[in-house]
Amino acid sequence: MKKETGSITRILYQNEDFLIAVLRTESEDIKIKGNIYGVEKGETVAVRGTWDNHPKYGEQFAVESWERPIPQTEEQILAFLTSSMVKGCGKKQAKAIVQQFGGKALEIISEERESCLTGIKGIGKKRAKKIVGSVISTFEVQRIVSELLVYGITANMALRAYREYGANILAILKRNPYKLTELDLVGFQKADEIARRIGIMPTSGYRIEACLQYVLQKRCMESGHTYIPKEEWLEETERALNHQSEPSEMVSMDELEDSLMCSEEKLIVNEDECIYPKFLYQQEEKLSRKLSKMRGSRYGRGMPECDRQMEKYQRKNQMILAEKQREAIKQLFREQILILTGGPGTGKTTVVKAMIDIYQKMYPKAAISLAAPTGRASRKLSEVAGHEASTIHRLIGYRQGERPEYNKDNKLPCKLLVLDEMSMVDVSLASYLFQALDPDTTVLMVGDIDQLPSVSPGNVLRDMIHAGIPTVRLTEVFRQAQESQIINNAHRINQGKSILFDKEKDDFFFLLQEDPVKIAELMVKSAKRFMEMGYSLSDILLLSPMRKGPVGTIALNEKLREALNPPSPEKNEWKVGKRLFRTGDKVIQTQTNYDKQVFNGDMGIIQSFTSERDDNGDPVEVMKVNFDGNVVSYARNAVKELELGYAITIHKSQGGEAPIVIMPVTVSHYVMLARNLIYTGMTRAREKVIFIGTEKAMNIAIQNNQIAQRNSRLAERLVRLEERQKCRKEGIALSQ
């Protein structure tokens, strides 16, 4: 193994784990490649490895291990402290540190941390923390990464684990590499590979417990369950543990049962042989108790005044509310908690506006809050209701992993809460929200139970309706809505009937094509045609049930960008890892970022590439994205939150809408041909729907109403609590 030392003069390729660069040594320039974390142009590094020949980059040095030489002289230390690797340290601070500690500055900083810097002029606690963090991570993380790479733990994984566990991460992972699954860095099989390299026994208790937890979490998160039947869970775990094991290494069902008993005290709950992740059990239980209390608060206040205000509202708006709409308004003043449901064109928007207006007239001083699960859904609610709305997360001040600002000890200051797109709300978010409500807050939940359920665990809206929470279902399709083929066909699909076409109308089209590749081409041509007609990128939603395949979102996004936003000298680009971002690209936010106030599913357009000053006043490259007027800056390390959004999955489209919706319907997506997927996708369109595919695929989808069963006991809990309340009331009456 040969050692080379030199400075990095050019970086040819770099992502979070891998680097190809030019290293200038004393004798020659050589190309190096390997798992090198965080190296920058101009740095001096020492690398060890072997020579090989790459078909693209030619002869190069394959790095097996590397290190940054620790600066030894005062000049080297000064240069290091003022480099881009050290955050928070300018020239003045660097000179002061070197004057104070001389050639031992880095050693002292590593040992004494912030305490040695806070006495130096110009360095406060915040700046000291940044300097120490940079120094420690530069050398300590380097050592940790180097040691973990040999086990198959990448630099990015090691860094994230280091942030969680600190300097003890080496000892922790060598003892129990399955901790990586808890951090959601790898799946169980990858953790198993790492464990074998470290030398962990197949029958290790850490391994068994990790697999039990992994299977439970994976099944719940992928299938939307809040629990898994015990027998089913143990059998699946046994298969995962023994799928490649020698007979002597097989884990028995008895060993699984023993591990289960240990796990029950930690992260799971066993209720009647139903196995819950502990946090889902607690949220389902808390939600059921809160809903039960609110359901029991029936008061019927102000009914004569409600009738008068309804008449005034109708006269003012020159309209006549339908019988079911009037019933819904009256129910709002009878019940503390009410569900309003119905398909498109049944007047949900009309009656919600009436409810808010009448409530304001009756209680002018009462605070009203409107919210929805996503940013797009909240903006839509605000537009139709004429009242400010927010996301549920922002309403209660919720950030992942933290207690919401509004909670059971700090109630949300509102008397009427209107929640839209309730079918998208999972059990965790619903629990957090309802815990934050005052005992006398009235709640109106609006949603369409025929749409897709929440992405995360739970089936809250459907469970509440099944449990008897007061519900008004609007069924009458109004005359104006009957003119829309989109609405008529949406209702036909829900009834299991085939779609109908009126050639005299231009709002619903079905282009016949069987070949998936040609379907993709037609989708691109259709989008391009609408752009030529004057529609913008934001006006067009291309939806697919799946991410992979010729008509999946991944392939479609590349084809659509090539057609709708081709490269040109006027457009700047960023290449980040394998992903390319270009000025004018349509993008989608894939995770909620509370600091930027952008939410999972928000769609935007890349506006420009420029530079801004960071907290230390240093220039940093940023990409600016316009989300409906909210311009957000992304540094290179933050663009992992974004994906191309020319085409998105139907699940991601929930809560949003656009004038144009284009969807493929093909047997190549056979497993995703379901009635509620087609229904959800087409009801995102305000003006036109274009299906491209085959009648056979469409008929399969329409007839497939087998909604995947979700394991949830919310409805059961609500029914049980209601029965207990009735028994208590009857007992009191008898005793009297």
105-109, 569-573, 613-617: range with lowest mean pLDDT: 613-617
- Mean pLDDT, residues 132-144 taken together: 79
Output the DSSP codes for 31-43: EEEE---S--TT-
Is the pLDDT assigned to residue 616 strictly greater than 70? Answer: no
Binning pLDDT at 50, 70 and 90, where does residue 731 land? low
Q: Residue 286 to residues 430, 467, 554, 736: CA-CA distances in angstroms?
A: 10, 16, 39, 32
Is the pLDDT assigned to residue 709 strictly greater than 70? Answer: yes
Site of tokens 């005290």: 265
Is the pLDDT assigned to residue 510 strictly greater than 90? Answer: yes
On whether the CB atoms of residues 715 and 288 are closer than 8 A, the answer is no
pLDDT at residue 203, rounded to an integer: 86
Task: Report the phi/psi class of residue 76: left, alpha or beta, with left for phi > 0 and alpha for psi in -120 to 50.
Answer: alpha
On whether the CB atoms of residues 654 and 424 are closer than 8 A, the answer is yes
pLDDT at residue 51, rounded to an integer: 84
> Which tokens in the block code for residue 357?
């207006």
Q: What is the pLDDT of residues 18-27, one digit of tens each?
A: 778 888 887 7
The Cα angle at residue 640 between residues 547 and 222, in degrees rounded to 5: 45
Taking alpha carbons only, the member of 161, 232, 168, 152 closest to residue 200 is 152
Q: Which residue has the higher pLDDT, 64 or 558?
A: 558
Binning pLDDT at 50, 70 and 90, where does residue 278 land? very high
Is the pLDDT assigned to residue 366 strictly greater than 50? Answer: yes
Q: What is the pLDDT of residues 36-67, one digit of tens each?
A: 766 777 778 888 888 887 676 678 888 877 77
pLDDT at residue 354, rounded to an integer: 95
On whether the CB atoms of residues 717 and 284 are closer than 8 A, the answer is yes
Q: Over the Cα atoms of the chain, what is R_g?
A: 30
Is the pLDDT assigned to residue 263 strictly greater than 60? Answer: no
- Mean pLDDT, residues 580-597 taken together: 89
Binning pLDDT at 50, 70 and 90, where does residue 160 land? confident
- Mean pLDDT, residues 350-362 taken together: 94
The Cα angle at residue 252 between residues 250 and 256, in degrees rounded to 5: 120
What would the 3-class secondary structure string for 609-638 be?
A: EEEEECCCCCEEEEEEEEECCEEEEECHHH
58-72, 179-193, 407-421, 625-639: range with lowest mean pLDDT: 58-72
61-75 b/e with 16+ CB inside 10 Å = b?
Answer: bebebbebeebeeee
Q: What is the pLDDT of residues 404-441, one digit of tens each?
A: 999 999 999 999 999 999 999 999 999 999 999 998 89
The Cα angle at residue 346 between residues 343 and 347, in degrees rounded to 5: 125
> Which tokens in the block code for residue 396?
């209660």
Q: Which element (helix H / strand E) includes 348?
A: helix 348-362
pLDDT at residue 300, rounded to an integer: 59
pLDDT at residue 57, rounded to an integer: 63
Residues 6+ apart with CB under 8 A from 410: 436
> Environment class of residue 445 by beta-carbon count within 10 Å: exposed (0-12), middle (13-18) or buried (19+)?
buried
Residues 6+ apart with CB under 8 A from 658: 538, 539, 540, 541, 684, 685, 686
- C-alpha 489/C-alpha 499 separation (Å) is 5
Output the DSSP codes for 659-672: EEEEEEE-GGGGGG
- Mean pLDDT, residues 279-297 taken together: 92
Where is mean pLDDT largest: 63-67, 333-337, 628-632? 333-337
Mean pLDDT of the chain: 87
**CA 428 and chain centroid, separation:** 14
- C-alpha 473/C-alpha 327 separation (Å) is 10
> Which tokens in the block code for residue 621?
């490259």
Output the DSSP codes for 371-397: EESSHHHHHHHHHHHTS-EEEHHHHHT
Is the pLDDT assigned to residue 722 strictly greater than 70? Answer: yes
What would the 3-class secondary structure string for 406-424 be?
A: CECCECCCCCEEEECCHHH
Q: Which residues are annotated as a binding site?
A: 345-349
Q: Which residue has the higher pLDDT, 380 or 36?
A: 380
- Mean pLDDT, residues 283-305 taken together: 83
Share of the chain above pLDDT 90, in %: 48
Q: Which element (helix H / strand E) includes 586?
A: strand 586-589
Reported pTM: 0.81
> Which tokens in the block code for residue 370?
């409107």
Residues in the chain: 736
Q: Which residues are annotated as a binding site for ATP?
A: 345-349
Is the pLDDT assigned to residue 299 strictly greater than 90? Answer: no
pLDDT at residue 165, rounded to an integer: 84
Is the pLDDT assigned to residue 75 strictly greater than 70? Answer: yes
Pairing, β 19-24 against β 29-34: antiparallel
The phi, psi pair for 609, rounded to 5°, reads: -120, 130
Residues 6+ apart with CB under 8 A from 629: none
Q: What is the pLDDT of residues 432-465, one digit of tens each?
A: 999 999 988 999 999 998 888 888 899 999 999 9
pLDDT at residue 734, rounded to an integer: 41
Is the pLDDT assigned to residue 605 strictly greater than 60? Answer: yes
pLDDT at residue 248, rounded to an integer: 73
**CA 162 and chain centroid, separation:** 23
- Mean pLDDT, residues 174-193 taken together: 88
* The CA-based dihedral angle spanning residues 370, 371, 376, 377, taken in that order and rounded to the nearest 10 degrees: -90
Any idea what DSSP says for residue 640?
G
Q: Which residue has the higher pLDDT, 637 or 283?
A: 283
What would the 3-class secondary structure string for 229-286 be?
A: EHHHHHHHHHHHHHCCCCHHHCCCHHHHHHHHHHHCCCCEEEECCEEEEHHHHHHHHH
- Mean pLDDT, residues 551-572 taken together: 94
- C-alpha 523/C-alpha 681 separation (Å) is 15
- C-alpha 504/C-alpha 446 separation (Å) is 34
pLDDT at residue 672, rounded to an integer: 83
- C-alpha 592/C-alpha 588 separation (Å) is 11
Binning pLDDT at 50, 70 and 90, where does residue 615 land? low
Q: Provide the angle, in degrees to the nearest 10, between the axes of the packed helices 105-112 and 125-136.
A: 110
Binning pLDDT at 50, 70 and 90, where does residue 687 land? very high
142-146, 566-570, 585-589, 655-659: range with lowest mean pLDDT: 142-146
Residues 6+ apart with CB under 8 A from 263: 209, 212, 213
pLDDT at residue 62, rounded to an integer: 83
Is the pLDDT assigned to residue 736 strictly greater than 50? Answer: no
CB atoms within 10 A of CB 266: 9
50-59, 210-219, 330-339, 539-548: range with lowest mean pLDDT: 50-59
The phi, psi pair for 594, rounded to 5°, reads: -70, -30
> Which tokens in the block code for residue 78?
């000064």
- Mean pLDDT, residues 640-667 taken together: 92
Q: What is the pLDDT of residues 232-254, one digit of tens each?
A: 999 999 998 987 777 777 888 88
On whether the CB atoms of residues 98 and 82 are closer than 8 A, the answer is no
